[in-house]
Amino acid sequence: MRIITIFWREYWANITRRSYLIFTFGFPLLMIALPVVGGIALALILQTLLPPTDPRPIGIIDQAALLSPATSPNDPVETIFFDNTAAADQSLADGDIQAYYHISPDYWKSGQVIVTYQTAPTPFIDTMVTTWLAAEVRAKIPPNILARVDTGPTITHQGLTGESAAFAENNLLESIIVVVIIYFVRLAGSFTASYMFDSIANESQDRTLEILITTVTPLQLVAGKFLGLLAVGLTQLGMWAGALLMLALGAGYFLGVNLLSYVLSWEHLGLMISALAATYVLDQILAAGLGLKRISSGSGHLLFNSVNMLMTVILLYAFYFLPRNPDTLLAVAASLFPFTSAVVLLIRMVTSEVPVWQVVLSQLLLWGTVIGGIFWLRRLLEANLVAHAEPMTWPVLFKNGASSLKRLAVRAK
Amino acid sequence: MRKLFTVAREEISFHLRQWTFYVSLLTIPLLFAAVGALPRLRSAAHQAPLPSVETVFDLSSEELKSPVGIVDQADLIRDFAQFQPYTTELAAAEALRRGDIDSYYVIAAGYLETGQMVQYSQNPQLLSDSDAAVRALLRDNLLTSLNNSGLKARFETPVELVRQGPPPPLLRFAPADLDLNRLIAAGLVAGLFVYLLGTGGHLLLRALQREVKAHVLEVIVVSTTPAQFIGGKLLGLLALILLQAGLALIAGMLVYGQNPDGSGPAALPLQALVLSVPYLLLGFLAYCALLIGIAVLWPTLQESALLLGAFRLLALLPLVGALFILPDPNSLISITLTLFPLTSHLLMPFRLLLGPVPMWQWAVGLIVLAVWTGVNLWLSMRLFRLSSLLTGRFVSPKLIWQAMWG
């Protein structure tokens, strides 16, 4: 019962905080607003760089018999056809047209189009003419060849045996979605872990919880606080994921695609949920543990930031290098190491064939570390929160870790 | 005044006792200087006998790195180029097992209709480095099958415009005669200033949190005025930031412009740096004054830290203005951005490092920024009278009004 009281107090106090609500709702808005603002700024810059488009028509002399007035785009300016350069020159001199484009009889061989003007037409007008010509050229190619030249082949990669995995183009989309999900879950995990770290570090410094310790056991206290903060993070993540799901379902409804059934029938869904959930909890355990260490002089923050930086390096490796070489020794090792396995294993799963033993071992190690981490957290609480522990130093931090592992091993025996 | 200096001295001595301060004090100048040596490092890496590292962005090469076979069941390929042709899948599979080839592609009989193609290999994976080559092979052979060399050429390059008239103005963000090395140097100095603003804000919030946590703010506010307390804190931090900026800029001056081939950031001109530093200092003070306002209005420490994060993002926004300055540093919008106090602290140094700026503009920008900083400092000191950071105090609109105008 006490554990629920602590859990609920921690949970409710946090999710009703102004900053929590601002961040939960403001962060997605910021993620949308930043590219929009950037895009508007870029458009404004481009507008200032471009000269205004002259509204007068342009002339066309088509000696290759490729264009016709019926197919003229007439956007952003209209076109006037001339039979020869003398007429076009006269019209240009009179100011009736701003420029004329002369398609010579050897166009098919040379590709040359001579544009004559007094003031150069804007890039928009050049683009109108070149796009128009390209469309007419394409119209002369048989549609089945054009389609294949345009889109290229849809390549499926597979092994020689029938039961080997196959990777088609749609797996590319799948891998991009997986990368995006991993990135945002890790990002949300780091936000919550940061809060977990601050919250526990502050409370262990305030020492107000020592009063509570007289009425609850350390395990009840740490479990209540930890689960409460974990639920705070999961609520945030759930709200973002829910909003995304609603958007995806809405888009799917209008596009006539049942995205939900596609997601639910995805072969790696179970593994993804398991790996990301375990890593999420592991992040929080690590953050709570570092918070409890009460490392002096801000080194706790430094250590926590270093751990976060390591995670960023892993993400870079996994997104940038791994898809090209998914079966190297480094990739296999990173798939098994609990702090990197979620990211590396999941990306390997969608880009290559991963042996089953690696998947099973990776999950066992990951969840085993989570369980071990909970015991480590309990021991840290007893050692650092109740008994006035000495401020931590780096050598002691590693020594404590090693001796805790030894104690666990002895207990296991 | 004596109390102000006492607060400043204590703030400085606190940071000088932290080993993390020395780490950042050395790291930033080293990093700032190291960027100047990057071209030399890159050149050394190119000359080193190390294999190239493959990334997801190296997939566009149309050159095969290992032997690859093709089984053309659609009878489309006339020129197999670098690929090894096989008549049957069986023969290709046998060659793959023997290790003669690394993989082989099968072009299905109905390829023109379906576009389907399969690559077989011992270790199948989503991204294959021979896909670009096989795509090019198919495209070339399909276009050649049109039996119209002109059509193939025009499909690939529809138009070559020949101009009869003056050359059109070039659409570019930076003028053609702008020295790229100078631009890099200016960008690095602007980046350093952004970093220092962020660090200064972080140190200021931490300083306030320290007093609040230790419950000594109550003692401090009865023995000092807001001007003495805030002024002392800011003076102390300003000295530390100046130290860091000075070290980084000196390191940059020693390294930049020293590459024998002229690559990397250009040498930092002393005069432009001297003219830039007042902008950094005033910008820093204005930024910190705004942060004090935030800390006072949102006294919960975690909330103010969160807002600091958002503020850091906003502090980057003036850099967008650099894109307006690049095309023409003397345009009306460039001048406006370098005089406007919310952007001038970053954009005036950027413009000064790109080229000469009329002295009157430098002076007007500095005066406007000084006035803006003064207003911010005054506001922050008025708000500090709220005493919201004291234990048990809560901020209400009425209290804010009283603190401001009471």
Does the beta-carbon distance from B138 to A153 stay under 8 Å? yes
> From B212, which residue of chain A is nearest by alpha-carbon distance?
A206
Does the beta-carbon distance from B154 to A352 stay under 8 Å? no
Instruction: Indicate whether A63 belongs to any domain.
Output: yes
Alpha-carbon distance of A16 to B233, in angstroms, equals 33
- Give pLDDT, residue A296: 41
Instruction: Indicate whether A206 belongs to any domain.
Output: yes
Banded model confidence at residue B149, pLDDT cuts 50, 70, 90: confident
- In this structure, of B190-194, B261-265, B337-341, the range with the lowest mean pLDDT score is B261-265
Count of pairs with CB atoms under 8 A, one residue in A, one in B: 224
> From B325, which residue of chain A is nearest by alpha-carbon distance?
A45
Q: Which of A30, A133, A326 sits opposite B125 (nearest CB)?
A: A326
- Give pLDDT, residue A129: 95
Alpha-carbon distance of A317 to A331, in angstroms, equals 9
Q: What angle do CA A221, A227, A230 make, to 5 degrees?
A: 135
Q: Which of A150, A179, A194 is the last residue of a domain?
A: A150
Banded model confidence at residue A295, pLDDT cuts 50, 70, 90: very low
Residue B395's nearest CA partner among B381, B405, B384, B380 is: B384
> From A115, which residue of chain B is nearest by alpha-carbon distance?
B163
Q: B22 vs chain A: nearest CA distance in angstroms?
A: 13
ipTM value: 0.72
Q: Which of A118, A150, A182 is the last residue of a domain?
A: A150
- Over residues A362-389, the pLDDT tens digits come to 999 999 999 998 888 877 776 665 544 4
Average of per-residue pLDDT values in chain A: 82
- Tell me which of B60, B76, B101, B126 to substitute to probe the interface with A (most A C-beta atoms closer than 10 Å): B126
- Give pLDDT, residue A297: 43
Contacts of A118 in chain B (CB under 8 A): 165-166
Banded model confidence at residue B386, pLDDT cuts 50, 70, 90: low
Alpha-carbon distance of B118 to A77, in angstroms, equals 47
**Residues B28-45, mean pLDDT to the nearest whole number:** 79
Transcribe A323-354 into DSSP letters: TTSTTSHHHHHHHHSHHHHHHHHHHHHHHB--
Contacts of B115 in chain A (CB under 8 A): 147-148, 151-154
Contacts of B162 in chain A (CB under 8 A): 112-115
Is there a single domain that holds both residue A177 and residue A323?
yes
Q: Which of A120, A154, A351 sits opposite B126 (nearest CB)?
A: A351
Is there a single domain that holds both residue A83 and residue A129?
yes
Q: Set out the domains of chain B in order of their start, with CATH numbers.
A: 2-37+178-405 (no CATH), 68-156 (3.40.190)
Does position B390 have pLDDT exceeding 70, yes or no? no
Residue A350's nearest CA partner among A264, A277, A261, A271 is: A271
Is there a single domain that holds both residue A130 and residue A215?
no
Alpha-carbon distance of A187 to A194, in angstroms, equals 11
Contacts of B150 in chain A (CB under 8 A): 108-109
Contacts of B213 in chain A (CB under 8 A): 205
**Residues A343-353, mean pLDDT to the nearest whole number:** 91
Instruction: Indicate whether A247 belongs to any domain.
Output: yes
Is there a single domain that holds both residue A229 and residue A320?
yes
- Tell me which of A148, A204, A321 to substitute to probe the interface with B (most B C-beta atoms closer than 10 Å): A148
> From B305, which residue of chain A is nearest by alpha-carbon distance?
A19
Is there a single domain that holds both residue A115 and residue A12?
no
Instruction: Indicate whether A400 belongs to any domain.
Output: yes
Does the beta-carbon distance from A156 to B119 stay under 8 Å? yes
Alpha-carbon distance of B67 to B82, in angstroms, equals 8
Q: Which of A150, A178, A210 is the last residue of a domain?
A: A150
* DSSP H or E segment with residue A197: helix A170-206
β pairing state of A79-81 and A58-62: parallel
Is there a single domain that holds both residue A363 and residue A238?
yes
**Residues A136-144, mean pLDDT to the nearest whole number:** 91
Contacts of B93 in chain A (CB under 8 A): 160
More confident call, A132 vs B43? A132
**Residues B200-211, mean pLDDT to the nearest whole number:** 77
Instruction: Indicate whether A162 belongs to any domain.
Output: no
Q: Looking at the 3D structure of chain A, how many domains does it have?
A: 2
Instruction: Indicate whether A36 belongs to any domain.
Output: no
Does position A56 have pLDDT exceeding 50, yes or no? yes
Does the beta-carbon distance from A153 to B150 stay under 8 Å? no
Contacts of B151 in chain A (CB under 8 A): 108, 137, 140-141
- Tell me which of A122, A137, A174, A346 to substitute to probe the interface with B (most B C-beta atoms closer than 10 Å): A137
Instruction: Name, of A231-240, B311-320, B389-398, the range with top average pLDDT.
Output: A231-240
Instruction: Name, of A147-156, A201-210, B10-19, the range with top average pLDDT.
Output: A147-156
Does the beta-carbon distance from B124 to A299 stay under 8 Å? no
CB half-sphere exposure, B275, CA atoms < 13 A: 25
Does position B302 have pLDDT exceeding 90, yes or no? no
% of chain A residues with pLDDT over 90: 32
- In this structure, of B130-134, B153-157, B353-357, B385-389, the range with the lowest mean pLDDT score is B385-389
- Over residues B83-95, the pLDDT tens digits come to 999 999 999 999 9
Does the beta-carbon distance from A134 to B158 stay under 8 Å? yes
Average of per-residue pLDDT values in chain B: 83
Residues B104 and B119 sit within 8 Å (Cβ to Cβ) = yes
Q: B308 vs chain A: nearest CA distance in angstroms?
A: 12
What token pair was written down for A35? 């590219």
Is there a single domain that holds both residue A74 and residue A180?
no
Does the beta-carbon distance from A353 to B122 stay under 8 Å? no
Q: Alpha helix (H) ranges present in B256-384?
A: 270-297, 301-316, 322-325, 332-339, 341-354, 359-384
Q: Which of A30, A120, A320 sits opposite B166 (nearest CB)?
A: A120
Alpha-carbon distance of B129 to B134, in angstroms, equals 10
Q: A411 vs chain B: nearest CA distance in angstroms?
A: 39
> How is the beta sheet containing A112-117 ordered, strand by strand?
A79-81, A58-62, A99-103, A112-117, B160-164
**Residues B369-384, mean pLDDT to the nearest whole number:** 88
CB neighbour class for A27 (10 Å; exposed up to 12, middle 13-18, buried from 19): middle
Q: Which domain holds residue A382?
A: 2-31+168-412
**Residues B68-95, mean pLDDT to the nearest whole number:** 93
Torsion of CA B318, B322, B324, B325, to 10 degrees: 120
Is there a single domain that holds both residue A100 and residue A196?
no
Does the beta-carbon distance from A48 to B333 stay under 8 Å? yes
Is there a single domain that holds both residue A146 and residue A174?
no
Instruction: Indicate whether A242 belongs to any domain.
Output: yes
What token pair was written down for B320? 């967008």
Alpha-carbon distance of B324 to B339, in angstroms, equals 14
Task: Enumerate residues 6+ apart whose C-beta is below 8 A from A27.
Answer: A240
**Residues A21-41, mean pLDDT to the nearest whole number:** 81
**Residues A268-277, mean pLDDT to the nearest whole number:** 91
Instruction: Indicate whether A39 belongs to any domain.
Output: no
Q: Which residue has the tokens 């390209």?
A: A134
Does the beta-carbon distance from B155 to A155 stay under 8 Å? no
- Give pLDDT, residue A212: 61
Does the beta-carbon distance from A155 to B119 stay under 8 Å? yes
What token pair was written down for B43? 């050149």
Instruction: Name, of A242-246, B18-22, B144-148, B238-242, the range with top average pLDDT.
Output: B238-242
Alpha-carbon distance of B249 to B268, in angstroms, equals 8
Task: Enumerate residues 6+ apart whose C-beta is below 8 A from B268.
Answer: B185, B189, B249, B252, B253, B256, B257, B353
Contacts of A42 in chain B (CB under 8 A): 323
Alpha-carbon distance of B267 to B256, in angstroms, equals 5
What token pair was written down for B38? 């990057």
Is there a single domain that holds both residue A249 and residue A361?
yes
Contacts of A350 in chain B (CB under 8 A): 126
More confident call, A30 vs A124? A124
Is there a single domain that holds both residue A144 and residue A183?
no
Banded model confidence at residue A207, pLDDT cuts 50, 70, 90: low
Does the beta-carbon distance from A48 to B306 stay under 8 Å? no
Residues B174 and B261 sit within 8 Å (Cβ to Cβ) = no
Does the beta-carbon distance from B171 to A123 stay under 8 Å? yes
Does the beta-carbon distance from A49 to B173 stay under 8 Å? yes
Alpha-carbon distance of A330 to A320, in angstroms, equals 14
More confident call, B227 vs B356? B356
Does position A46 have pLDDT exceeding 50, yes or no? yes
Task: Enumerate residues 6+ apart whose C-beta is below 8 A from B339.
Answer: B361, B364, B365, B368
Does the beta-carbon distance from B126 to A350 stay under 8 Å? yes
Is the entire prediction scored with pTM above 0.95? no
- Give pLDDT, residue B86: 95
- Give pLDDT, residue A45: 77
- Give pLDDT, residue A400: 59
Is there a single domain that holds both residue A115 and residue A254?
no
- Give pLDDT, residue B7: 82
Banded model confidence at residue B395, pLDDT cuts 50, 70, 90: low
Instruction: At B151, give phi and psi (nearest 5°).
Output: -65, -40
| C-beta contacts of B140-146 below 8 A and 24+ residues apart | B140/B79, B140/B81, B141/B76, B141/B77, B141/B78, B141/B79, B142/A145, B142/A148, B142/A149, B142/B76, B143/A145, B143/A149, B144/B78, B144/B79, B145/A145, B145/B76, B145/B78, B146/A141, B146/A142, B146/A145
Q: B115 vs chain A: nearest CA distance in angstroms?
A: 5
Does position B31 have pLDDT exceeding 90, yes or no? no
**Residues A159-186, mean pLDDT to the nearest whole number:** 82
Measured between its terminal Cα atoms, the distance across chain A in Å is 33
**Residues A278-287, mean pLDDT to the nearest whole number:** 88
Range list of β-strands (E), A104-257: 112-117, 154-158, 166-167
**Residues A337-352, mean pLDDT to the nearest whole number:** 91
Q: At what angle do helices A299-316 and A170-206 cross, to 10 degrees?
A: 170
Does the beta-carbon distance from A48 to B324 stay under 8 Å? yes
Does the beta-carbon distance from B300 to A19 stay under 8 Å? yes
Q: Is A119 helix (H, G, I), strand (E, B) or coil?
A: coil
Does the beta-carbon distance from A167 to B303 stay under 8 Å? no
- Give pLDDT, residue B366: 95
Does position A223 have pLDDT exceeding 80, yes or no? no
CATH code assigned at A131 = 3.40.190
